Structures are given as C-alpha cells and as structure tokens.
C-alpha cells in the first residue's frame, strides 16, 4: 500500500469516527433538549390563581389573607361571566322548545369548557375528584383551554378515502343573536384577570406528594421510592458482589467449577431485565414469600440479582488491576492472605469497585421491568422507612411509563411526565458524576 | 555432595585461567564474628513450573550474616531460587518443589510450616520499588502493625530505627505523613528495605534491587547493603557482575537451573573453577 492510499485510508477512518461520534452527540441532544426544556417546565412555569388555591387547600402552602384578596379580585371579573351565563339560561327559558333544545345541547359544552378554564361554576356540586375542583393551574394550559371555549372542534368526514380532518367553528357564531355571544370576547379579553397568572418556581414538584394521581402536586413518592429501591438493591448486591469478586480473583483455583461460575456470571449479566422481574415475582414473592405482595424488599432483591453480575465484574477488574507488587510486598512482610486483601488490595481497588457500584446504583434506579411485578405501583403516597418490608412504592421509572401510556389524562399532565424523566435522568447523571469524582479523589489520594 | 562456599566443589573441571575482564574487587573483606553458620540449606532442591524444571537439584549452604549474590543469565532460575526461600513462588499456580530447603534446619516447604511466620523472618525487596500507596510512616509501620504493635510511640521508634538503618531517615524525617509514591525511585527502594527491616527479619532477600534505578541510587543501595552486612544474612540476585563483586562475600552462579559454581566472590571472579562461569563473567555470553 503506498503512502497516498494509506493517508486517505487513515483520514477517511478518522472522518467516519468523528462522524459517528457527531451523530451520537446530535441524537443525544435531540433527546436531552426537550427533556430538559419540558422537564424544567414542571418546576418553572406561569401559575394561575387556581394553582395557588390548590396549594393552599391541599398542602396548606401560601398566605390566606393574600389569597383571599386575590380571589376577591378574580371573582370580580368572574362574576360578569357568571351573570352572562345566568342571563342566557333565563333567555333560553323564553325560547320556543325546538330552538331551546338546539341551544341546550350547544350550551352544555360551553359550560364544561368554562369549568375546565376557571373552575366550578356557581351552583355546581362539590366534585369528588380533586381535579374537578379547580380550573387550569398552568397559564399555558389555560390558553389551550380558552381555545376550546372559543371554538368547537368538528371533524370533516367528506372524503371517505382520507383521514377525517379537524376544523374549528367559532362558538360566538353559533350563539349569534343570543346574549351568550358576549361571553366569548369577555372571557378572551379578561382571562388574565380571572386567573391572575404569575411566574413561579414550584420546588414542591420535587418534594410534594401527588394529588389525584399526578393531576396536581409533585413527585416526591416516586423519588423516594426510586431511592429506596436502588439503595436497597445496593445493600444486598454490593457486599455480595465484592465478596464474590474477591473469591474469584484471590481464592478460586482455575478449573471447571470456576469457569462454570464465571460463565454463569456473564450469562446473568446478559439476561433481559423483564426476566428478572418475572423471576423476582416467582421466587421472592411466590416462593420465598418475603412479602405478601409487591414490596420494596422484593423489588430491591430483584434489582440486586440483576446488578450483581455487573458489580462482580467491576470489582473483579478493579482487584485484578491492583499491581501484583502490592500483594507481594504485603505477603513478604509476613501478612496473611486475608490481611493482605483487607489492608492492601481492597483499598487500592476501591476506586474501581466504587465506580462499578455507583454505576450499578444508577442502573438499579433507572430499571423499569424488574420492579413492575415486584415493587412498583402507579399511584401511591410516600412510604415510611418502616414500611419497606411490606409496602409497594411508586418509582420514577415505572411511573414515567405509566403516566405516558396508561394514565387516564396522559395528555393533560405532559409536564409531570417530562418532570419525572428529567428527575430520573438527573439522578442517574448525578450518580455517575459522583462516581467519577469519587474515583478521581481516591485515586489522587492513593497516588499522593 | 554438598557444595559450600568454601570452595569444596562438585564440578569436575579444574580451571586455572583467570578472568580476562577487569573486575573491580573490594579490598579484603572482614570476617564476621558469629557469622558463617549455614542459614539456608538446599538439599537436592528442585523447583518446577508445572512440568518444567526451573531449578535443578541445588545443594548449597548460604552462610549467615554474609552477603551472597546470585548471578547468571536471564532465565537461569536465580530469581526463582531466591523467591523459593520465602515461598513467594506459592503465588504462581503450578509451582512445586522437590528435595529440601531448610531454614535454620527447618524445612521451608514442610507440611506444618507456617509461611506467614516464615516470611516474617525472611524479608524481601523486589526488583521494582513497590511501596504501598500510603504514607511513609504507614508503609514502615505496616509490618509491625501486622504483628500486633499498635502503640503509636513504639511504632514511631520502629519507623525511625528502620529508616535510619536504610539510610533514609535524614531525607524523609520531616515528611513521614506524605504519600510514599511521591519519593524518587531510589528513595522508594530504600523505603522498601526499611519496610522489610521493620519486621526484624533474619534474612533479607534482594531480587535485583537496583535494576530499575539510576547509578547514583544504585550506589546508595550498595552502600546500604554494606551497612547491613553483618547484621542480616543477605542474598542478592543481580544481573550486574560488578555489583556482585562489589557487595557480596560469596557468589552463586546459576546456568539453566543448575548451580554451576558457588565460591567466595573474589575467588569466583578471579579464578573460576568452571569453564561456564568463566565464559559468563568474561562476557562471552549473557
């Protein structure tokens, strides 16, 4: 191969390499940017007075006097809307039955849309579900709902070969000639006065429990559950993993039995996580009966089994990377094998072992499948530390899936989903970052 | 027949030719009172790596309080022999021995020998300086602590004594709490000597202790060996024949696992009895 070809080959290889890294980076950005942007929206957003009312009623947060004043101010503008409704209702009484019928069926959706916007109307019964007791708590959602009030969505089925098309009809036009016509421009122009939007930083998203299955409130139960599960898994897996790694590297003799154990370990590392989930259900809950049903304990044990091979591998690598000379030096001073392991080998291998441990912790925090059958519930309150043996818990990973796919009002609470994703990603990233820092720090200490 | 350093030799060939290469020889070395007792005795001692016989039927007495060097070309089994004495070869899978190797009359490879106690009495310094990634103090105190010394004051005494013996005290006395890996290579190696001395061994095994050091640091280690001569039985494996001639009282020459010649250093270098020895020390092969 001549010089020219070699250079072209090297350059094109570098180009392909840089290209693939760039593709990965762009893909990561495409994923991360919306997560960060929308996720931050769960904490930083423009809240309405409904949000402040909800916080006061559900969590006791906020100043009562201040809130009363604000409510009075908002009420002043809402009254006009309510009286417009009342006037239209009396007007309908006077209509001919046919016309009245027509308007009644159109009037219902208007009421509903207004309820969604600014909360229960005068004369409504107290709703059982918390979500119906308040109007829109987020200003950008309120603007969406305003559109629903102003326009009726209709579907165009005229072309049987194409998908139906959505189009909007102005409700003002539908109520042309009645007193209700005034309602629509009034609400449109005075919505900000009725809802009093204000920018807020809602840290409670991270520390409050959820209200009415995540329609309001925060994600503390999920964060706490994730923490319990991951830490619980580490409590079981870390000591066992390190002990197994010490056995493999220091005590096991090379032979059939050891190589079987090693390949079993590698195989275990490659088993799909859902299999661990089913195993956890079958073994820990049904066979061993560690708990009557799902529990943090069963979930932690399942996660522990799942991350054990990774921890063993990482610890083994770390121990093997300790220079043999340390071991020789220690033994030549009359140290026992056990003492050498405890005082020389493990301290020197600690950075690697801890890195493996923290990365496994991150994995345990992020896994969904193993906890579906063993620990996770979709909605629940934060459990106490005493309940971990018997209670299931919500957890970030499982609730992200649940909120995005199975939640009845999935579209209404996108910000909660994104907030959860951001929280989970941050937790895992922070764990990995701390692993890197920890490693750097211990390595520095060892190197002097 | 037992080969001893007194020149009783099993080799058949009589060699009278002197070495042609110039070798520095120290002036008459002093006799050591209380020394010269067989300390490590090999009887038909062989070492195998699996099937391979790395050291073949060695018969030799190493005399106490003297410095004995072991020379020979690479792969001749000299390091293997040295590491057999404190059973460091146990770490190598498949390594086993036949014959007997006695330390103070007791079989090193005996069924009931505690290798941990043995290693306490037979210290070792390795080719590459290998201080622990701990402070200088903790490095030296590692051995004494292992053997049950916990009193800080006592430990400080041992550390100082060991560092003084290793001629390192003046250089490091003000930074005992610093990490030992921050020392220079030569200092690290003397630290390793001090660490070995801190457990008060009877024998000190040096496995090519200067091969990773520069000439200046090498000279210091050699001086140190001279200082320690008379207090400890010292065995040193070296590639450097000048070093062997400078520091040792007796020299063993190994070739392909066989102990070819074992004689007082001056005699071995000026008047080798074996043809092979002569060829090696005159640089015909290496």
User: What is each CA distance from A61 to A51, A53, A382, A394, B183, in whole angstroms?
Assistant: 11, 9, 19, 24, 61
Q: Specify the pTM.
A: 0.82
Q: Percent of chain B scored above 70 by pLDDT?
A: 88
Q: What is the pLDDT of residue B12?
A: 39
> Between these two residues, B16 and B186, which has the higher pLDDT value?
B186
A299-356 tens-digit pLDDT: 999 999 999 999 999 999 999 999 888 999 999 998 999 999 999 999 989 988 998 9
- Going by their DSSP bridges, the two strands B233-237 and B52-63 should be labelled as unpaired
Contact B91 A326 (CB under 8 A): no
**Could you give the angle at the alpha carbon of B21 between the alpha carbons of B19 and B22, nearest 5°?**
110
- The answer, for B92 touching chain A at a CB cutoff of 8 Å, is no
> pLDDT tier at B19 (50, 70, 90 boundaries)?
very low
Strand, helix or coil for residue A217: strand
- The answer, for B120 touching chain A at a CB cutoff of 8 Å, is yes
Q: What is the pLDDT of residue A360?
A: 92
> Which residues from B are below 8 Å from A318, CB to CB?
none
> Which residues from B are below 8 Å from A448, CB to CB?
133, 178-182
User: What is each CA distance from A304 to A265, A273, A284, A317, A395, in whole angstroms?
Assistant: 14, 12, 12, 19, 16
Residue B8 has pLDDT above 50, yes or no: no
- The answer, for A342 touching chain B at a CB cutoff of 8 Å, is no
Contacts for A61 with CB less than 8 Å, ≥ 6 apart? A55, A204
Contact B179 A447 (CB under 8 A): yes
Tokens of B185: 């290579």
What phi and psi, each to the nearest 5 degrees, are found at residue B129?
-55, 130
Q: Look over chain B and give the mean of its residue pLDDT values, rounded to a whole number.
A: 85
> Which residues from B are below 8 Å from A331, CB to CB?
88, 91, 119
Instruction: Identify the burial level of B97 via C-beta atoms within 10 angstroms of its C-beta, where 0-12 means exposed, 13-18 middle and 19 or more buried.
Output: middle
Interface test with B, best of A329, A340, A341 (most B CBs within 10 A): A329
Question: What DSSP string describes A99-123?
Answer: HHHHHHHHHHHHHHHHHHHH-PPTT
Using CB atoms, pick whichever of B93, B116, B146 lies closest to residue A254: B93
> Which residues from A are below 8 Å from B181, CB to CB?
446-448
- The answer, for A326 touching chain B at a CB cutoff of 8 Å, is yes
Rounded to whole angstroms, the Cα distance separating B90 from B86 reads 9
B91-127 tens-digit pLDDT: 888 899 999 999 988 899 988 888 888 999 999 999 9
Strand, helix or coil for residue A5: helix
- The answer, for B196 touching chain A at a CB cutoff of 8 Å, is yes
B224-253 tens-digit pLDDT: 898 888 889 999 999 888 899 889 989 999
Residue B156 has pLDDT above 90, yes or no: yes
> Which residues from A are below 8 Å from B146, CB to CB?
333-335, 339
Instruction: Identify the burial level of B271 via C-beta atoms within 10 angstroms of its C-beta, where 0-12 means exposed, 13-18 middle and 19 or more buried.
Output: middle
Rounded to whole angstroms, the Cα distance separating A121 from A104 reads 17
**Could you give the angle at the alpha carbon of B163 between the alpha carbons of A444 and B140, nearest 5°?**
50
Residue with tokens 């190994």: B254
Query: Cβ–Cβ contacts within 10 Å for residue A412, how many?
Result: 17
Residue B23 has pLDDT above 50, yes or no: no
* Contact between residue A200 and residue A46 where contact means Cβ atoms under 8 Å apart: yes
Assembly ipTM: 0.83
Query: Cβ–Cβ contacts within 10 Å for residue A404, how many?
Result: 16
> pLDDT tier at B5 (50, 70, 90 boundaries)?
low
Tokens of A11: 């350059």
Q: What is the pLDDT of residue B26?
A: 47
Mean pLDDT within A266-273: 91
Contact B130 A329 (CB under 8 A): yes
Contact B117 A327 (CB under 8 A): no
Interface test with A, best of B82, B91, B132, B139 (most A CBs within 10 A): B132
Q: What is the pLDDT of residue B10?
A: 40
Rounded to whole angstroms, the Cα distance separating A400 from A377 reads 12
> Which residues from B are below 8 Å from A344, CB to CB?
132
Looking at chain B, which residue has its C-alpha nearest residue A446? B133
Q: What is the pLDDT of residue B188?
A: 93
Listed by number, the residues of chain B in 214-273 with a beta carbon closer than 8 Å to a beta carbon of chain A are none
Q: What is the pLDDT of residue B29?
A: 62
Task: Give how far B19 is from chain A: nearest CA, Å.
Answer: 37
B178-219 tens-digit pLDDT: 989 889 988 999 999 999 999 999 999 999 998 888 888 888
Burial of B159-171, coded b for 16+ CB within 10 Å and e otherwise, reads: bbbbbebbbbbee
- The answer, for A336 touching chain B at a CB cutoff of 8 Å, is yes
Listed by number, the residues of chain B in 134-153 with a beta carbon closer than 8 Å to a beta carbon of chain A are 142-143, 146-147
Contact B181 A326 (CB under 8 A): no
Rounded to whole angstroms, the Cα distance separating B1 from B253 reads 17
- The answer, for A249 touching chain B at a CB cutoff of 8 Å, is no
Mean pLDDT within A267-289: 93
Task: Give how far A241 is from chain B: nearest CA, Å.
Answer: 24
Tokens of B211: 């091969």
A376-424 tens-digit pLDDT: 888 778 888 888 888 899 999 999 998 888 888 888 888 999 999 999 9
Residue B6 has pLDDT above 70, yes or no: no
- The answer, for A97 touching chain B at a CB cutoff of 8 Å, is no
Looking at chain B, which residue has its C-alpha nearest residue A325? B130
CA torsion sign, A423 to A426 to A432 to A435? negative
* Contact between residue B11 and residue B263 where contact means Cβ atoms under 8 Å apart: no
Looking at chain A, which residue has its C-alpha nearest residue B199? A333
Question: What DSSP string describes B21-51?
Answer: S-----S-PPP-TT--SEEEEEEEEEEEETT
Residue B4 has pLDDT above 80, yes or no: no
Mean pLDDT within B13-22: 36
Q: What is the pLDDT of residue B36?
A: 77
- The answer, for A254 touching chain B at a CB cutoff of 8 Å, is yes
What phi and psi, each to the nearest 5 degrees, are found at residue A153?
-80, 130
Between A and B, how many CB-CB pairs are < 8 A?
Answer: 78
Task: Give how far A444 is from chain B: nearest CA, Å.
Answer: 10
Task: Give how far A247 is from chain B: nearest CA, Å.
Answer: 15
- The answer, for A330 touching chain B at a CB cutoff of 8 Å, is yes
Q: What is the pLDDT of residue A189?
A: 92
Using CB atoms, pick whichever of B91, B180, B199 lies closest to residue A334: B199
Mean pLDDT within A4-8: 91
For chain B, the C-alpha Rg in angstroms (whole number) is: 19
Task: Give how far B117 is from chain A: nearest CA, Å.
Answer: 6
């Amino acid at each position: 191969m001549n010089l020219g070809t070699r250079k072209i080959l090297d350059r094109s290889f570098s180009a392909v390499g840089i290209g693939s890294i760039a593709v990965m980076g762009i893909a990561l950005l495409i994923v991360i940017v919306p997560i960060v942007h929308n996720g931050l929206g769960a904490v930083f957003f423009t809240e309405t007075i409904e949000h402040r009312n909800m916080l006061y009623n559900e969590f006791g947060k906020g100043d009562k006097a201040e809130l009363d004043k604000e409510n009075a101010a908002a009420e002043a503008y809402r009254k006009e809307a309510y009286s417009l409704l009342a006037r239209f209702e009396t007007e309908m009484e006077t209509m001919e039955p046919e016309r009245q019928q027509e308007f009644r069926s159109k009037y219902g959706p208007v009421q509903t849309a207004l309820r969604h916007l600014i909360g229960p109307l005068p004369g409504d019964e107290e709703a059982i579900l918390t979500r119906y007791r308040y109007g829109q708590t987020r200003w950008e959602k309120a603007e969406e709902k305003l559109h629903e009030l102003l326009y009726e969505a209709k579907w165009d089925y005229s072309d049987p070969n194409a998908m139906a098309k959505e189009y909007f009809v102005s409700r003002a036009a539908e109520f042309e000639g009645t007193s209700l016509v005034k309602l629509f421009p009034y609400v449109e122009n005075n919505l900000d006065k009725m809802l009093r939007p204000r920018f807020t930083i809602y840290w409670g998203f991270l520390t409050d429990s959820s209200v009415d299955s995540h329609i309001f409130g925060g994600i503390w139960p999920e964060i706490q559950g994730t923490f319990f599960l991951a830490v619980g898994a580490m409590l079981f897996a870390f000591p066992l993993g390190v002990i197994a790694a010490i056995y493999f590297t220091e005590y096991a003799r090379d032979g059939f039995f050891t190589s079987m154990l090693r390949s079993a370990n590698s195989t275990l590392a490659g088993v799909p996580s859902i299999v661990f989930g089913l195993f956890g259900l079958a073994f820990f809950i049904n066979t061993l009966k560690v708990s009557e049903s799902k529990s943090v304990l069963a979930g932690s044990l399942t996660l522990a089994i799942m991350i054990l091979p990774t921890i063993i591998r990482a610890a083994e690598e770390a121990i093997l990377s300790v220079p043999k000379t340390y071991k020789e030096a220690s033994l030549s001073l009359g140290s026992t094998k056990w003492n050498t392991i405890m005082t020389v080998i493990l301290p020197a291998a600690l950075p690697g072992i801890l890195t493996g441990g923290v990365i496994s912790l991150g994995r345990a925090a992020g896994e969904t499948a193993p906890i579906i059958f063993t620990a996770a519930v979709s909605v629940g309150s934060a459990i106490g530390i005493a309940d971990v043996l018997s209670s299931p818990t919500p957890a970030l990973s499982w609730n992200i899936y649940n909120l995005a796919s199975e939640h009845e009002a999935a579209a209404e609470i996108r910000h909660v989903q994104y907030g959860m994703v951001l929280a989970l990603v941050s937790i895992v990233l922070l764990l990995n970052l701390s692993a890197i820092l920890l490693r750097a720090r211990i390595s520095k200490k060892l190197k002097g | 027949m037992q080969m001893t350093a007194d020149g009783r030799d099993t080799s058949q060939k009589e060699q009278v030719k002197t070495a042609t290469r110039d070798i520095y020889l120290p002036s008459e070395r002093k006799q050591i009172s209380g020394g010269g007792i067989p300390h490590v005795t090999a009887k038909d001692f062989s070492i195998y790596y699996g099937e391979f016989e790395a050291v073949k039927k060695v018969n030799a007495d190493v005399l106490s309080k003297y410095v004995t060097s072991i020379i020979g070309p690479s792969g001749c089994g000299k390091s293997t022999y040295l590491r057999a004495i404190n059973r460091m070869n146990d770490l190598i899978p498949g390594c086993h021995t036949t014959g007997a190797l006695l330390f103070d009359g007791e079989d090193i490879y005996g069924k009931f020998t505690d290798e941990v106690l043995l290693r306490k009495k037979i210290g070792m310094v390795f080719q590459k300086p290998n201080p622990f990634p701990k402070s200088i103090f903790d490095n030296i105190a590692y051995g004494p602590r292992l053997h049950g010394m916990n009193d800080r004051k006592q430990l400080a005494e041992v550390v100082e004594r060991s560092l003084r013996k290793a001629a390192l005290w003046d250089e490091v006395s003000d930074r005992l709490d610093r990490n030992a890996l921050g020392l220079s290579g030569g200092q690290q190696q003397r630290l390793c000597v001090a660490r070995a001395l801190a457990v008060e061994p009877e024998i000190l095994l040096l496995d090519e202790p200067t091969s990773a050091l520069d000439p200046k640091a090498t000279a210091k280690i050699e001086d140190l060996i001279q200082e320690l001569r008379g207090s400890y039985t010292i065995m040193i494996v070296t590639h450097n024949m000048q070093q062997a001639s400078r520091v040792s009282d007796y020299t063993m020459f190994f070739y392909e696992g066989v102990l070819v010649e074992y004689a007082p250093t001056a005699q071995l270098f000026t008047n080798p009895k074996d043809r092979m020895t002569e060829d090696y020390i005159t640089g015909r092969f290496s």
